Amino acid sequence: MTHQQTEAADSRFRALPDRWMWPVRLAAVAVALLAINQAFNFHFFIGYTLLANRYLYSILLFIIPVIYILIPATARATKTHVPWYDVVGAVLSFLVLAYLIANSLRMIENGWELAAPPQAVYVAILFWVLIFEASRRAGGNALAVVVGVISLYPLYADVMPGPIAGFSSPLDVVAGYHAMSNESAMGIPLRAFGNLVVGFIIFGVALQHTGAGRFFINLAFALLGHVRGGPGKVAILSSGLMGSMSGSVVTNVMTTGVMTIPAMRKVGLSAKFSAGVEACASTGGVLMPPVMGTTAFIMANFLGVPYANIAIAAAIPSMLYFLGLFIQIDARAAREEIRGLDHSDLPSLRQTISEGWYYIFAFGLLIFMLIVLKREALAPYYATPVLIIINQIAAKKDRWGWRDLVAFVDTMAKLFAELVGVLAGIGLIIGALSMTGLVGTLVNDLISLAGGSVLMLLIMGAATSFVLGIGMTVTAAYIFLAILLAPALTSVGLDPMAVHMFILYWGMLSFITPPVALGAFAAATIAKADPMKTGFEAMRLGSIIYFIPFFFVFDPALILNGTAWDTLTAFGFVVLAIFVGTGGLQGYVVGIGNILKGHVLELPARILLVAGCIPIGMPGGGILGINKFSMLAAGAVLILPVLLAAAIHNRGVNKKSVHLA
């Protein structure tokens, strides 16, 4: 990574001298060894395989103190040394978790989660406070507000109004439940981290530190850089590949954008358009298999299915999203007559592959173990050492030295800290809702509020997912809604996998939608474009992502839950819808040309194309109650006259151009 990229990625963390960083590095290595020991039952490092709760407490023992050391309490706090109060927080975290580890078997045998002895209650209260502050530092103030209010909810649930009333409990019981049950801080989010996510974080960091980012970018340039609007298409391919392994939109933008955005500017694409393309591509990368980021692994735990099922279900929706981006870039390039880069400015495909073939091999090994062998918990622990060993033998530019190894561990420690803080805090939310029984009653209340309408319930869900995605991480927003909203949606007959994917997609939209649009704003800084204009450009470019979740939640064949014929026909109709809708957004349809360019009716015509794509992409029958033929007819009525008028108009323009020539 370049200095600029590293600085952007590390801006939230302190820049500390080695006397502080070495304990942090040792903690990160300890977590990696614990995870390997637990996955393979090796019985090394600690002599035996840990009980589930002791294993998770051990992860927190190493990582929570790291959060207090690495992440300052406020943005204005010092970032060059650790103040005394953070040292106190780190030491207290270590001592509290050491106590919980020492008593982990006793708390299971004696039911401490509901009846802890007095000493354990005091420790549990301190644990609660320390985890809350760690989650605030890792996830931000918006997450902290939600975690704080809801984790305290069992104390006052009985005095809340009807729809949100629940069973209340005294402070000692609530604290014990948060600290010692398997449904709160030690619940699904942290279990997913310990059992699945650790290995994929290590794999992703290894890929980045062995030069995978440069390889994927060079590969994309070699394949697509010369075609019409080539650099924009390069951004889609490279950012999709990078995002698939990094799981972070902003990191993806800062890694690939520094190369793709200047290349797009070079061929004549505007600054805001170039930044918008990069933001959309980086957002889509997190939704693309085989490695989709933390949220997908947690989704697998919620649904009780192998991670491979999530990756397979995500394949067609992510393909459709990237297809929409690709067509829009091609349409913009055609409309503005933007060519690709000269072959002399592009890397050689043969040389690129010869220098980085082992990245493809490592990915292939990972996919084989995920999809074919279905060993998702073990796959990254095989792929990572294979990648590093081959890199040390075959690579010349990216062979690791001591400093590279240290940088690898530092990056791993920061990712562990950020993620564990968020997941432990979200666990407190789950625990509070579990204690009060609110989830069960809220399902009926949501259905009643929507008037029994599935579409209205989905719109409510989309809006809530989007709003929560603005204020907190995608993982946090997903978990919150997977508890509260998903049961209501599945209870009205929607496919569970489609519902959870729907929530994930809408939670991601805040990265490209103003007023927040973190991905778009990060890209705008590279392109030196207006952040808000970039956000709206990204919103238009990525507009297909607003519709895709509705397409697959109404037709689960798009997530491969149906017959081969159902999937094929559904895919074909959505591709047609994307082809027409994106043509309307950019004012150009392949085979037709410009859509009434310069004509007074251009804008209405383009609006009709976008409107006409919706009934084409939506399935017929079922929940909507309208047969597919009627929907196709409605779409055709809107679309065909526009395409015919555009073809006639373009023929007239071409004849006039020939005559003038």
pLDDT one-digit tens code per residue, 62-78: 999 999 999 998 878 77
Backbone angles phi, psi at 328, to 5 degrees: -65, -40
Single residue among 156, 181, 206 that ends a domain in this structure: 181
Is position 428 within any domain?
no
Alpha helices in 41-193 (DSSP H): 52-70, 84-102, 104-110, 118-139, 141-151, 153-156, 171-180, 188-192
Residues 172 and 221 in one domain: no
Single residue among 125, 147, 181 that ends a domain in this structure: 181
Average pLDDT (392-412) is 88
Residues 556 and 626 in one domain: no
Is position 416 within any domain?
no
Mean pLDDT rounded to a whole number for the chain: 84
Tell me the per-residue pLDDT of 84-95, one tens digit each, with 9 for 90 and over: 999 999 999 999
Residues 513 and 385 in one domain: yes
DSSP 380: H
Q: Is 95 exposed, middle or buried (0-12, 13-18, 19+ CB in 10 A)?
A: middle
pLDDT band at 245 (very low <50, low <70, confident <90, very high): low
Is position 20 within any domain?
yes
Please, what is the end-to-end C-alpha distance for the chain in angstroms? 52
Is position 458 within any domain?
no
Residues 171 and 241 in one domain: no
- Which is higher by pLDDT, 421 or 161? 421
Residues 10 and 113 in one domain: yes
- Which is higher by pLDDT, 157 or 644? 644
In the three-class reduction of DSSP (H, G, I as helix; E, B as strand; rest coil), residue 652 is classed as: helix
Residues 205 and 312 in one domain: yes
Is position 77 within any domain?
yes
Residues 321 and 371 in one domain: yes
DSSP 594: E
Distances in whole angstroms, Cα of residue 631 to Cα of each of 493, 592, 609, 620: 22, 23, 14, 7
Tell me the per-residue pLDDT of 259-314, one tens digit each, with 9 for 90 and over: 788 888 888 888 998 899 888 888 887 788 877 777 788 888 888 888 888 888 99
Is position 450 within any domain?
no
CB-based contacts of 399, cutoff 8 Å, min separation 6: 391, 392
pLDDT for 6 equals 38
Is position 421 within any domain?
no
Pair of tokens at residue 556: 């689960």
Host domain of residue 360: 198-397+469-481+497-561
Is position 229 within any domain?
yes
Q: Which of 635, 650, 653, 643 is nearest to 583 (CA)?
A: 643
Q: Are 318 and 309 in contact (CB under 8 A)?
A: no
pLDDT for 248 equals 67
Q: Which of 129, 125, 124 is nearest to 107 (CA)?
A: 124
Residues 576 and 530 in one domain: no
Residues 532 and 639 in one domain: no
In the three-class reduction of DSSP (H, G, I as helix; E, B as strand; rest coil), residue 306 is classed as: coil
Count of other CB atoms within 10 angstroms of residue 178: 28
pLDDT for 367 equals 83
Residues 579 and 552 in one domain: no
* Euclidean distance between CA atoms 22 and 14, whole angstroms: 14
CA angle 312, 519, 287 (to 5 degrees): 0
pLDDT band at 239 (very low <50, low <70, confident <90, very high): confident
Tell me the per-residue pLDDT of 427-446, one tens digit each, with 9 for 90 and over: 898 888 888 877 666 666 77
Q: Which of 114, 126, 204 is nearest to 167 (CA)?
A: 114
Single residue among 545, 561, 577 that ends a domain in this structure: 561
pLDDT for 410 equals 94
pLDDT greater than 90 at residue 178? yes
Residues 151 and 230 in one domain: no
Tell me the per-residue pLDDT of 496-535, one tens digit each, with 9 for 90 and over: 999 999 988 887 887 888 776 778 888 888 888 888 888 8
Residues 325 and 264 in one domain: yes
The tally of domains found in the chain comes to: 3
CA angle 444, 449, 452 (to 5 degrees): 75
**Tell me, what amino acid is at 129?**
V
pTM of the predicted model as reported, rounded to 2 decimal places: 0.80
Residue linked to tokens 């939608």: 513
